[in-house]
Structure 1
Amino acid sequence: MKDIEQLDRTRSMVIDSIAQNMNLYGITPSAGRLYGLLFFSDKPLTLDEMKDELGMSKTSMSTSVRSLLDLNMVEKVWVKGERKDLYTIKEDWYQCFFDFFTIKWRTAITMNSSAMEKSITNLQKLIDDPNTSAEIRDNASLDIKKLEERLDYYDWQNRLIDSFETKEILNFVPVEKKKD
């Protein structure tokens, strides 16, 4: 009995740590606990099994699973004879990181770049308008320069994300540590 308690305490320590750090991924602590539960499970689990184990409502459980599915951190699996949906974590943590990174960052970059490109267009209209004062034209020109520099940065970020999607990044930071 003492061994089981030690195993459970050790697992709980890891699950709590995962739950506390999931905010880095924009995930709630409850979804982090769910991920930790699935990590230590030796079989895929149903929503009911996860709900019972974690004491969460079915709605909260469903929302957490959906968040983890959207980030490609868990997957739905099929088991012969089982009618309910079953879930398990994706075992390839490197791919999970790549998926998360590309999903989140690509979205942010696209949103920011779009706003900046529209702003540049509007600022250029101000500059081209003969009724715009010299001071406003100067400020608009400075803003365009800043925005264009930021767009160059977003271009670099997009190329970095491309290297994650193609796994070219692994040529520079291999999965295996180099032996000393």
Structure 2
Amino acid sequence: MSDQLATSKEQEEIERAKDLVIQAITETMDVYGAAPSVGRLYATMYFVENPITLDEMKDMLEMSKPSMSTGVRALQENGMVNRIWEKGSRKNKYAAEKDFFKSFIRFYCKRWEREYKENLRAIADSQRILQEIMEDDSCDETIRKQAEDYYYQVEDSKKYYRWLERLVESFYSQEIFRHIPKEDL
């Protein structure tokens, strides 16, 4: 077998190996709320060594430039793609975030922060209303008791949101990795 034929076969095997990972990433990107085309975009960019333009992405994936732009913007918002400035280049270039730990932290912590902040704010507002009812001596005792029950029910739920807040902080501070280390494989 000639060296060129062997190299060609090996190159095909490399492409097959890449395709397996691209397909798996594409299929699991729905966890991040991404459409399959956006998942495929990220997965393809994951294997690109240097930052590329939207035009280069469009050519690689045979997608329209508006679709590329929308997909890249969604990936940027989720911290999975970064815009890269290159001296002398007039076009924006992009690179996939290859550190899955960073992607995970950016994506999930942003959502978890929203969850605990919105819910703690709603609980505080709710408890102010319920407190007024509980303190209103002219209010029916049954209604006051119901307000009190709801007050303590939502008070109990704050444990979860405060825990979630601490969890987010443990990711941002990297403290989580002292308890669940990144394995060096």
Give the TM-score band, short-chain normalised. 0.7 to 0.9
Instruction: Among all aligned residue pairs of Structure 1 and Structure 2, give the percentage whose two residues are the same amino acid.
Output: 38
In the alignment, what sits opposite 2:134? 127
Are 1:89 and 2:83 counterparts?
no
Structure 2 unaligned residues grouped into runs of 5+: 1-7
SS in 2 for 1:81: coil
RMSD of aligned residue pairs (Cα, Å)? 2.0
Q: CA deviation at 1:105?
A: 0.8
3-state SS of 1:10 partner: helix
Deviation at 1:169, TM superposition (A): 0.9
Q: 1:33 aligns with which of 40, 46, 50?
A: 40
Pairing 1:22–2:29 present = yes
- Establish whether residue 11 from structure 1 lines up as the match of residue 18 from structure 2: yes
Deviation of 1:27 after TM superposition, in Å, equals: 2.2
Between the aligned partners of 1:73 and 1:177, the Cα distance in structure 2 is 22
Tell me the TM-score normalised to structure 1 length.
0.88
Q: Which moved more, 1:112-121 or 1:152-161?
A: 112-121
- Code of the aligned partner of 1:37: T
Length, aligned pairs only: 178
Say if 1:46 and 1:177 are closer, same or farther in 2 by CA, change over 3 A. Answer: closer
After TM superposition, give the deviation of residue 80 of structure 1 in Å: 3.6
Q: Give the whole-Å Cα distance in 2 for the aligned partners of 1:133 and 1:96.
A: 53
| Superposition deviation, residue 177 in structure 1 | 5.5
Residue of 35, 38, 60 corresponding to 1:53: 60
Separation in structure 2 between the aligned mates of residue 63 and residue 130 of structure 1, nearest angstrom: 57
Matches within 5 A, 1:55-74: 55-74=62-81
Letter in 2 for 1:145: Y
Measure the CA separation in 1 of the matches of 2:97 and 2:103.
7
**Structure 1 position 4, deviation (Å):** 4.0
Segment of structure 1 superposing worse, 10-19 or 31-40: 10-19
Structure exhibiting the larger radius of gyration computed from Cα positions: 2
Residue identity matched to 1:168? E
Tell me the secondary structure at the aligned position of residue 114 of structure 2: helix
Q: Does 1:77 align with 2:84?
A: yes
